[in-house]
Amino acid sequence: MSQETIYCPAIFLTAPASNQGKTTITAALARYFTKQGKVVRVFKTGPDYLDPQILAQASQQPVEQLDIWMAGDDYCQDRLYQAAKVADLILVEGAMGMFDGEPSSADLAARFGIPMAIVMDVKGMAQTAAALATGLANFRADVTVVGLIANRCGSERHAELIRDALPASLPLLATLKRDEEVTLPERHLGLVQAEEVADELELRFEAAVDWLQQSNDDGLLTLPEPVAFLPAERDHAEVPAKRHLQGKTIAVAKDAAFSFIYDANLNALKSLGATIVFFSPLKDSHLPAADALWLPGGYPELHAKTLSENTHMRLAIQAFFATGKPLLAECGGMLYSLEELTDLEGHCYPMLGILPGQGAMRGKRGCQGMQTAVVPQGDIRGHAHHRSRSANTPEPVGYGRRQRHPAPGEAIYQQQGLTASYLHLFFPSNLAATAALFLGVNRLGESA
């Protein structure tokens, strides 16, 4: 039975560059309309763990990633369609600059017909902000830009100069004053995790609602025009994957040290039939009964001392590894798997020792980018984002394949039941390969 087109108000928040205030404004809008009794569904463009945590708290709804390369066109279309079924408003926050990346925020907005609003930090410029916004709005004919949000606007005169310089087709949607009370807290890989500062975030969200309402323009506080959302050829919510993991229990590390977990990944495992149980390497003394283990990324370097001193958990994971059962360790999870980890202050702590080698933080220098994990189980798309290095590790089983560069990407290690890499995997990109990883086989139907 064919599904009907659904219409839902939607706006895509983009910018000329990073650090313009997109997340702050997206969170403020989500909270404003939520307080009006609206169901607001927020999406984040590209791979990101921290912004979605903030936006989920602001909207009181789950937040999902949209990335055509990582997830696929059909998957993105389906997630938007499913959200439109229940939402009064869809907000999409872009990544980096409007036209940066392949695919870019503009590519995504054009593909799904979502109008864009440009967020710009206008401190230190006036008419030039109008010129930049006009250039962005007219750079591509397939992108619709509905207006400019002038962030960190100094005064009404400042706003007037920008407003008067904009063409009639590009209105000033909002002029937002400089206000440190609404700025979201950050650390070396981006925003602080929401659960660490949940009470503080609530205060900032409420301040941000007042901040929006103080704007001299009201275009931002009016629901945008409805957008037509079409069903995908495959309904990801209704058509379950082959349940290769039926009857299997997967234990997932989840606490302040390990929290880089896409909801989409958990949903993928559940669609494959798996039962998910969580545990804390920081606080728990034992593992739950499980057939496989997942150590996701996070901030183990901030909790290295506690992780090292929890010897009961270290012994439990070492014993699990010794059984040969499947274990996936991503980025921070891989650092935890190594013999030692040196934190940002230069302190060195013993870790699990199930993968030979040492890890060390390296300040502001790091690695990031989209890559495909090439493993015997199949290709799984994902990304790298870390500011650490590893040394004296074993020979890799393979390397990540970079999206746009021929050089080998991140090393991928497999020994016994362990698969470890700096790569963060996006499970929906290849469900069969994901199932094989958690079954401990090279391919479905084959023993590892």
Euclidean distance between CA atoms 383 and 46, whole angstroms: 10
Cβ-contact 109, 14 below 8 angstroms: yes
Euclidean distance between CA atoms 154 and 126, whole angstroms: 10
Q: Which of 76, 153, 331, 367 is catalytic?
A: 331
The tokens describing 159, both together, are 């706003």
Cβ-contact 293, 320 below 8 angstroms: yes
Give the number of other Cβ atoms within 10 Å of residue 194's Cβ. 20
Annotated active-site residue 331? The verdict is yes
Helix or strand or coil: residue 225? coil
Instruction: Output the CA angle 295-297-298, nearest 5 degrees.
Output: 120
Cβ-contact 106, 140 below 8 angstroms: yes
Cβ-contact 48, 65 below 8 angstroms: yes
Q: What is the DSSP string of 228-251?
A: EEPPPSS-TTTSPPP-TTTT-EEE
The torsion of the CA quartet 33, 52, 434, 332, rounded to 10 degrees, works out to -170
Euclidean distance between CA atoms 332 and 75, whole angstroms: 27
What are the residue numbers of the active site? 331
